[in-house]
């Protein structure tokens, strides 16, 4: 591992699969970036417990909702200190100004930091966050109210995501004064349990414990993300002790891990669904019966066996069981190539040729999308559909919601 080794305190080394796209989760949807930043550097106003489905206090200690569902009033935690770096030392604790700064940046196109995010705010844009919030007002240093245009049952859930981190308004002002606004996202300041010490692209991320953290202090003085893109190399580093923990082993590596007495696999239910997406603005995908026929033609069990190898199960909806919106009574179309061919013929479409795109990288929700593409290509050929395999994403409603984690004792 290519790290600066001079007088480093002891800690934990985590084998990470890639570089973060940014050090601000507001700007990304990448799980790699979220894993490396959101819970180390930052806090959200509240957090969500996947097991219980309940919200718990974080930087907000309490919240109330008006009877009409339009006003969310949050009471903020006292004496929370922001981190500091060579460019910035805070002169006050976290307060309502930081909440307003963090979310106005996302929803207000005239905010001085809004356009700094060249790729936008993909999560918040996908949920129409700017269309939800009418205003954000400071009632006191420790109290802020969000007013919505109309009641929205997802609002608290959006505040509890890893994307909804709280930034320092003072730091933003300081960087504007220095004419270095882009550093807000690349040399981050937050209120979280770790402080970014150093990042070397394709090498490592080194965090030091934040000894001024408002909550329970981290039990380790430093945390290192060893960036190792190849899964086999991550496994080798865990086996040799170069890394303490690694995530995202490929299904084919599980037998090797199970046979090693010094390794332990931990699994938990993940909020992941892999799916085959259609562009419904283009024919023939604008015809729902064509989409149903293509879905019925795919043998999802074969993909589960060949690609996921007992690390996933069949899905019946677009949401996994761990989601609050999951329905256990929904039914999907089962594999039936004969019925799929008949349904496709009934639409009048003949000699269909389609492009299918697949991710070139492994992800927890699809460890081998190229293999998935090949299997779907074979199944579509059985109903007379020619699929041109560029690189393609996912598979129709297969749920990968086990997250293997390798831990070395």
CATH number of the structural domain spanning residue 28: 3.90.76.10
Both 170 and 219 in a single domain? no
Domain boundary (159, 186, 213) is at 186
Average pLDDT over residues 182-194: 97
* Domain end position, chosen among 168, 186, 204: 186
In a domain, 103, yes or no: yes
Section 78-102 average pLDDT: 97
Please say if the pLDDT value at position 339 is more than 60: yes
Residue span of the structural domain in which 259 resides: 194-270
pLDDT at 265: 85
- Judge if 340 and 366 occupy the same domain: yes
pLDDT tens-digit profile of 265-321?
887 777 778 888 888 999 999 999 999 999 999 999 999 999 888 788 888 888 887
Do 306 and 332 have their domain in common? yes
Residue 39 lies in a domain: yes
Q: pLDDT value at position 8?
A: 58
Q: Are residues 164 and 123 in the same domain?
A: yes
- Residues 101 and 71 reside in one and the same domain: yes
Q: 404 falls in which pLDDT band (50, 70, 90)?
A: very low
Q: How many domains does the chain have?
A: 3
Residue 344 within any structural domain of the chain: yes
Rounded CA-CA distance 59/99 in Å is 10
Question: For the purposes of burial, counting CB atoms within 10 Å of the CB of 165, is it exposed (0-12), middle (13-18) or buried (19 or more)?
Answer: buried
Claim to verify: residue 218 and residue 323 sit in the same structural domain: no
Q: What is the mean pLDDT of residues 66-94?
A: 97
For 263-302, letters b (16+ CB in 10 Å) and e give: beeeeeebebbbbbebeeeeebeeeeebbbbbbbbbbbee
* Residue 124 belongs to some domain of the structure: yes
Q: Judge if 84 and 128 occupy the same domain.
A: yes
Q: Tell me: the pLDDT tens digits for 371-389?
A: 999 999 999 999 999 998 6
> Does residue 391 or residue 200 have the better pLDDT?
200
User: Is residue 9 in some structural domain?
Assistant: no
Residue 121 has pLDDT above 90, yes or no: yes
Alpha helices (H) in 273-320, listed in sequence order = 288-297, 300-303
The domain that holds 328 is classified in CATH as 3.10.105.10
Beta carbons of 22 and 186 less than 8 angstroms apart: yes
pLDDT given at position 173: 98
Residue 1 lies in a domain: no
- The set of residues, in sequence order, having a beta carbon less than 8 Å from that of 290 and lying 6+ positions away, is 284, 344, 347, 349, 352
Look over the chain and give the mean of its residue pLDDT values, rounded to a whole number: 89
Asked whether residue 7 carries a pLDDT value surpassing 60, the answer given is: no
Same domain, 174 and 250: no
The answer to pTM > 0.85 is no
Question: Per mean pLDDT, which range of 258-262, 280-284, 375-379, 405-409 is the poorest?
Answer: 405-409
What confidence score (pLDDT) does residue 368 get? 84
Burial class (CB in 10 A: 0-12, 13-18, 19+), 9: exposed
Q: Determine, yes or no, domain membership for 14.
A: no
Average pLDDT over residues 159-172: 97
Note whether 221 and 150 are same-domain residues. no
pLDDT surpasses 50 at 5: no
- For residues 128 and 201, membership in a common domain is answered with no
| pLDDT mean over 94-117 | 97
Confidence of residue 399 (pLDDT cuts 50, 70, 90): very low
β pairing state of 245-247 and 11-16:
parallel
CATH of the domain at 231: 3.40.190.10
């Amino acid at each position: 591992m290519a790290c600066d080794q001079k007088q480093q305190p002891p800690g934990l080394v985590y084998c990470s699969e890639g570089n973060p796209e940014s050090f601000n989760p507001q700007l990304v949807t990448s799980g790699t970036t979220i894993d490396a930043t959101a819970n180390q550097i930052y806090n959200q106003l509240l957090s969500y417990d996947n097991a219980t489905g309940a919200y718990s206090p974080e930087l907000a200690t309490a919240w109330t909702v008006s009877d009409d569902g339009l006003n969310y009033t949050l009471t903020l935690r006292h004496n929370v200190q922001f981190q500091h770096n060579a460019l910035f030392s805070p002169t006050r604790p976290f307060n309502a100004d930081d909440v307003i700064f963090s979310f106005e940046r996302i929803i207000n196109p005239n905010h001085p930091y809004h356009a700094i995010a060249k790729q936008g705010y993909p999560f918040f844009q996908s949920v129409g966050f700017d269309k939800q919030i009418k205003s954000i007002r400071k009632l006191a240093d420790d109290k802020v109210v969000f007013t919505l245009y109309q009641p929205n049952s997802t609002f608290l859930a959006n505040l509890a995501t890893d994307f909804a981190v709280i930034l320092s308004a003072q730091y933003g002002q300081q960087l504007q004064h220095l004419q270095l606004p882009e550093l807000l996202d690349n040399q981050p300041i937050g209120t979280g349990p770790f402080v970014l010490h150093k990042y070397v692209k394709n090498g490592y991320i080194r965090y030091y414990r934040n000894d001024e953290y408002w909550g329970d202090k981290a039990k380790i003085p430093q945390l290192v993300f060893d960036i190792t893109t190849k899964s086999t190399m991550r496994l080798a580093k865990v086996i040799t002790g170069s890394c303490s923990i690694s995530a995202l082993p490929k299904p084919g590596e599980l037998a090797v891990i199970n046979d090693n007495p010094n390794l332990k696999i931990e699994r938990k239910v993940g909020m992941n669904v892999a799916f085959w997406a259609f562009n419904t603005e283009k024919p023939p995908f604008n015809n729902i019966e064509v989409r149903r026929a293509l879905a019925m033609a795919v043998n999802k069990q074969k993909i589960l066996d060949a690609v996921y190898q007992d690390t996933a199960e069949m899905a019946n909806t677009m949401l996994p069981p761990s989601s609050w919106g999951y329905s256990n009574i929904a039914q999907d179309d089962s594999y039936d190539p004969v019925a799929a061919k008949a349904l496709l013929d009934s639409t009048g479409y003949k000699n269909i040729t389609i492009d299918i795109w697949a991710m070139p990288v492994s992800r927890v929700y699809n460890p081998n999308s190229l293999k998935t593409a090949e299997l779907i290509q074979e199944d579509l050929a059985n109903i007379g559909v020619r699929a041109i395999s560029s690189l393609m994403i996912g598979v129709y409603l297969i749920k990968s919601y086990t997250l293997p984690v390798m831990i070395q004792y």
